[in-house]
Amino acid sequence: LFEDMALWSAELRATRCLAETLTRADVLTAPAARRRLAARKLEMTAVSAANDHPSYQQSLVTSAENLTDYVPPRQLLMYLIRMGSFNSSPKILNSDSQDDDFHLPSRKMSLSSVVEFCKQQRYGLPELLGREYAPLGTNNLVHQKHSGFCNDEICTVSTDKVCLPFSNNGVIRVFQWNVLSQALGIHSDGFLLCPAEALDWHTRKYGMLQAILETRPDVVCLQEVDHFNFLQRSLGSLGYSGMFRAKPDSPCLYMPDNNGPDGCAIFFREDKLQLLKADTKVLEIWKMPTNQVVIAATFRVLDSNSEICVATTHLKARRGSLMKKLRDEQGKDLLEFVKQHSENKPLVLCGDFNAEPEEPVYKRIISHRDLGLASAYAEMASYPQGARPENPGDREPPYTTWKVREESEECHTIDYIYYTKKSFSVEAGLLFPSEREIGPARLPSYSYPSDHMSLMCDLKFSEKDS
């Protein structure tokens, strides 16, 4: 008995050591990148060693080839999901005050005037990446202007100095974007090829505002927001109202000169939508709080008197089977929360889910029986007869984030707009720039203020819901 207890105690200590090693590497500085690689070696060593113990034989893998099916030990996951990041650095509890002196030149500026003001503030810098706005049935989700593709209904936002018209009655224009936390972008994300000046907040904030306003969205869902005050002041002057929920233990608070915690935000046009109720939640795994949040808001659509629910979240980051398992568990809590909040109303669920289409959480979301969700971009592209992939994940864009860090180049599809399929149809959306347009330095850059591309689509109400 004592030998068994001693063995269990030793395994528990080793598990905790592994969990803390993995989680300490949450910050992607160059040393942290090396720690993450060391942590991966430690994980594989632990997997191999634990494989001889009967209690672990069903939950551990023996090689990298079948790591995809790896079910981590529950004890290890319990350490990883606890709030915080095992960071021994002291918190720097700053407030969102760096934009307290920000004001637009006039209180009564039009949206187009503010866009021009943003361009003036970026004078001397490259223009923002142009984004093609295309109708449903586009035969490629990436720009085709260099491949002979042409459509009279396509217009380009930004490079042609064109703002989209506002959405029509019976249509909701949804804008989704991980805007890149300023504190993380400067201090921890390690964008190897991005000039430091391109990450300067004065440079980024006007590009960020311009990119949002040029699409004239009805609803804006954002993640990694650590300058909510700036967005509230600028968007608020144009008839948008917003709400924000910070992460419980934001990594920004461990960065020097931070502007407070990062979190999720929703903004909406007050002349299009009336807020009926809103709620937020810290996502849980096995009843334990994590460090990720969700916002859900119910609106009345003023042109039709119908009601919709809009929710946004940002699930746990990092690659690997451990994190896939955590995201899937977070997805369970997320879906239960939005199901309760939406009360069978049409739902739009946006966010940075940090999950490729083949991950369990993606499949869990689109297969939820009660919510009946579909991915907007998976429904946008058209295919020749008989060639349309049956699996929605195979119809997603080739990327939504593309960056170069010290340890690797990363190109992933992890951001989504989901919607209730029986209540909406996709009318149009923003396409993605080609590799040539983005350039070899990838994102962020002088031409684009975030490492994630924004998503935007027009959702048309079905007749019974309008």
The tens digit of pLDDT for each residue in 158-195 reads 544 458 999 999 999 999 999 999 999 999 888 989 99
| CB neighbour list of residue 403: distance below 8 Å, 6 or more residues apart | 189, 191, 409, 410, 442, 443, 444, 451
Are the C-beta atoms of 322 and 278 separated by less than 8 Å? no
- Please give the backbone phi and psi of residue 412, each rounded to the nearest 5 degrees, phi first: -140, 155
pLDDT of res. 29:
40
Model pTM above 0.75: yes
**Domain range annotation of the chain:** 2-81, 111-461
DSSP sequence for 38-73: HHHHHHHHHHHHHTTSGGGTTT--SSGGGGGG----
User: Chain centroid to CA 233: how far?
Assistant: 23
**pLDDT at residue 57 tops 80:** no
Strand partners, 221: 176, 266
Res 37: pLDDT: 45
* 289, pLDDT greater than 60: yes
Range scoring the smallest mean pLDDT among 79-88, 313-322, 391-400, 411-420: 79-88
Q: Which residues pair with 47 in a beta bridge?
A: none
Residue 322 binned pLDDT confidence (cut-offs 50, 70, 90): confident
Q: Span 273-288, mean pLDDT? A: 96
pLDDT at 12 over 70: no
- Tell whether omega for the bond before 444 is within 30 degrees of 0, i.e. cis: yes
Q: Residue 79 and residue 74: Cα distance in Å, rounded?
A: 9
For domain 111-461, give the CATH number: 3.60.10.10
